[in-house]
Amino acid sequence: MGKIKVADFDIRYTVESAQPLTFFGDIHEEGKRVDYVSEFRKFEVRQHKDSLEYFALPKISEQKAREEIVRRFGLNDNMQKIYEAIATDQFLVESIEKYPGMRITRNDPWETTVCFVMSQFNNVKRIRGIVKKLIEVHGERRSFEHNGREIVVRSFPTPETFANLSVKEIMKCGTGFRGKYIKGIAQQCVDGFDLYKLEGKKYEHIKEELMTLPGIGDKVADCILLMGYEKLEAFPVDTWIKRIVERVYFKGKVQSIKTIHKFAEERWGKDGGYAQQYLFWRGRSLKLK
């Protein structure tokens, strides 16, 4: 078992804040332990007051396990500097006070793409149910023994898996109209669209490329950029965040998505993604919609 000292981090706020780990990970009732699968390994992460304990099954080197946890949970983000940058008004100050330690996770681009295509006209509970069902039905199964008992893990379904399914088969997992988008994106990936070659490219370039894929518009692209490509300047604008920004910063006057993007860029710059997360969850708790 490994251990990392942490500050300005809350595992529950992070995992419950509509990120890919929300959709395929499992947070335990006490709220301080998260289990998730990555590359056929089960990771268990438990938070204590000022540290995280973690281990992986099957075992990997301490260095690799640590790198996974640090990257996955954004532990290298300097939250004090980020808070200073985004706490530009009372609403955001109160947001940070309400959800201290909520971080942006880093996730596989393909998994992130599927999760946020599922987010269209959907809610967190339903998205989680659909993603878990897709994994249960179409993920590759592997098992291993640990302390005399069998541990079973299932991978996130690959593009090849979805490309070989019919839209109807995908829709049986509850995807609705989004099933055709998953099938279409998977087929394009199989045919040569490489999500991983976009890593390291500029924000604008990745966004333009993502929006050529079926079912990916402005908001979904920014979610993928933020949590799949580590582009913390991405500011996803859905109906909720649009209304929250209008209410808080424009006296309730309707604004275009373009105007909101420009406003976010000028106000929060490279930390816009964090500002969005805190605005969204504070607005959600106050039911500002």
Is-contact 115 131, C-beta < 8 A? yes
The number of beta carbons lying within 10 Å of the beta carbon of residue 244 is: 23
CATH level 3 topology of 109-228: Endonuclease III; domain 1 (1.10.340)
pLDDT of residue 30: 79
Is-contact 44 33, C-beta < 8 A? yes
pLDDT of residue 191: 98
User: Cα 215 vs. chain centroid, distance in angstroms?
Assistant: 18
- Segments making up each domain of the chain, as ranges: 2-76, 109-228
Q: Which residues of 194-219 are buried (b: 16+ CB within 10 A; e: fewer)?
A: ebeebeeeebeebbebbeebebbebb
C-alpha–C-alpha distance, residues 56 and 54, integer Å: 7
Task: Taking residues 157-181, report their average pLDDT.
Answer: 98
Express each pLDDT in 216-260 by its tens digit.
999 999 999 999 999 999 999 999 999 999 999 999 999 999 999
For the chain, the residue count is 289
Instruction: Give the side-chain half-sphere CA count within 13 A for 60.
Output: 17
Structure tokens at 128: 């989680």
C-alpha–C-alpha distance, residues 280 and 265, integer Å: 16
C-alpha–C-alpha distance, residues 122 and 110, integer Å: 19
285, amino acid identity: S
For the cut 60, the answer to whether the pLDDT of residue 56 exceeds it is yes
Express each pLDDT in 60-91 by its tens digit.
999 999 999 999 999 999 999 999 999 999 99
Task: Taking residues 27-49, report their average pLDDT.
Answer: 92
pLDDT of residue 283: 86
